[in-house]
Homo-oligomer: A and B are copies of this chain.
């Protein structure tokens, strides 16, 4: 787990847990990840001197060059205006950030201090700043310029379900806002305090990182939900099992965050989305704890777990979950394929999906993201190996590939050797009939190693006067290509009309019988004032187009406050009324993550602007 097990004492805290479970000195997760960027402090992109090449440094490897990346950024992202250098826009230094002191609430703190150990309660500047935001572009820009308006007044780091119960009860008694904080990787504003009217606690769940039991017979595990992805899978692997949930945020997100936001992992086509894996969980609400029984599928009334899945901390805090697991797959094979065009790739995907033999994962990058993918590889790698002049000629003349349209696809198979071989033969047959060209396992291997790296590139881009954001949705087969075309064209036209460089790409990352997850990544230059208007306009544009094509408001990022303006259009008004009653019932004082998920009545009636439009950055130099 995250905690360094150095020394222990036997002091007990108010919940009766012996402190020996919690070593005296350890490094909390929030101290190990960047306060002003994504991920591990020891992993970052930087420019090599004197070559000017971009390189990546990781805990394992120092300054590995990414030779294709700078030319790609200059040519494609920055608009290809002939400039040879990137513009530096460095982050503020931590010491130069000013935040308001924590609000005073001595009675509340007195009760907490009687129950929690002092090192479970933090209100230093570092803890407060690192628990203010998630990792959206808006979050990073505001952090990087030091515009931190509403830092939480206190960070509480509970160790157990009972401690969360005590915390929530006490907060409710003193009308204190509580915001559950998992890995803080959320990019839709779900963890951000949105006013300073009330004392606000960010509840960092990451010390609740134990696997309580693994049942290999029923293939279930009971898990404290503050556990991070790598810790979860490492500990499960000791019992020979895996949960198989592998979202982009895997390294820095928690089980609780996955449950609260309806997360989905790369291999969801085989292992399901997070709701399929969840058997049951405990949720602490201000009016009491909702518990659910263990056991397989039942048909005895409404299944309560679905009230909490996707509630994003607005109804309470999930503490422990029983999750389905499966034996560690003996075989896991990931292959790369090239298609002559996105339409070819989508057609092959739809043909595969219409059969009853489905791979574990099919990712398809559109031509733009294919180029990004190759440009961000450490060496020329697989692409060059396979795209030798001869192969190139063959593909071009014999198979009529147009290299501007080539799409990379990563297709994975996991399971028993028998089932992998069977599915592979079936899928490869369909691929062959659809002009796919195999690149072997090398691109799959590279994907496996680099699949969490894109946010590090985003940090680098932010360092150089550009911003990056994403929009993802679930869209029907019929609307997939139209949405892909229309959204990309509209985005490009929007910025072209303003004369601002901008770039957009997309990939398909999850498939269903009735559609796919389509994921856009878009980049533009900061405007002169370095404020968020270009981002807000682009996000509005993209979300409106998604809605126009009947897409989901989100496939797996959630709602937070970023998607609230579209909720009335996305879900029925009837449901919003029901949700409000649910909220009133479970959280009568509205202390649980207020103003997230559903518009307030004031927002709905245009008496208050949406946070989406308000939380801007004005006249600030990046």
Which residues of A does B touch, CB under 8 Å?
Answer: 217-220, 261-264, 273, 275, 279, 285, 287-304, 306-312, 324, 326-327, 354-357, 415-416, 418-419, 422, 426, 474-478, 510, 512-516, 550-559, 563, 567, 570-575, 577-579, 581-582, 584-586, 597-598
Once the chains bind, are B418 and A217 in contact (CB under 8 Å)? Answer: no
Known: A217-B477, A303-B306, A474-B297. A574 touches B285 (CB 8 A): yes
Chain B minimum-CB-distance residue to A597? B301
Chain B minimum-CB-distance residue to A563? B300
Main SS of chain A's interface residues?
loop
Chain B minimum-CB-distance residue to A549? B295
Known: A299-B554, A299-B557. A577 touches B585 (CB 8 A): yes
Once the chains bind, are A567 and B301 in contact (CB under 8 Å)? Answer: yes
A245 to B325, CA, bound (A): 26
- Smallest CB separation, A473 vs chain B (Å): 8
Chain B minimum-CB-distance residue to A414? B356
Chain B residues, CB < 8 A from A310: 299-303
Chain B residues, CB < 8 A from A308: 302
A354 to B575, CA, bound (A): 39
Once the chains bind, are B309 and A302 in contact (CB under 8 Å)? Answer: yes
- Smallest CB separation, A430 vs chain B (Å): 12
Once the chains bind, are A357 and B416 in contact (CB under 8 Å)? Answer: yes
A287 to B291, CA, bound (A): 29
A190 to B65, CA, bound (A): 68
Known: A218-B514, A306-B306. A299 touches B416 (CB 8 A): no
> Among B295, B419, B512, which residue has its beta carbon within 8 angstroms of that of A550?
B295
A570 to B304, CA, bound (A): 12
- Smallest CB separation, A515 vs chain B (Å): 4
Pairs A–B under 8 Å by Cβ, sample size 26: A218-B477, A219-B514, A220-B514, A261-B299, A262-B298, A264-B299, A285-B574, A288-B573, A288-B577, A290-B572, A293-B570, A294-B550, A295-B474, A296-B474, A296-B514, A297-B512, A298-B552, A299-B557, A301-B310, A301-B579, A301-B598, A302-B306, A302-B310, A302-B311, A357-B419, A577-B585
> Among B218, B326, B327, B554, which residue has its beta carbon within 8 angstroms of that of A300?
B554
Once the chains bind, are B273 and A297 in contact (CB under 8 Å)? Answer: yes
> Among B312, B567, B577, which residue has its beta carbon within 8 angstroms of that of A287?
B577
Once the chains bind, are A558 and B418 in contact (CB under 8 Å)? Answer: no
- Smallest CB separation, A475 vs chain B (Å): 8
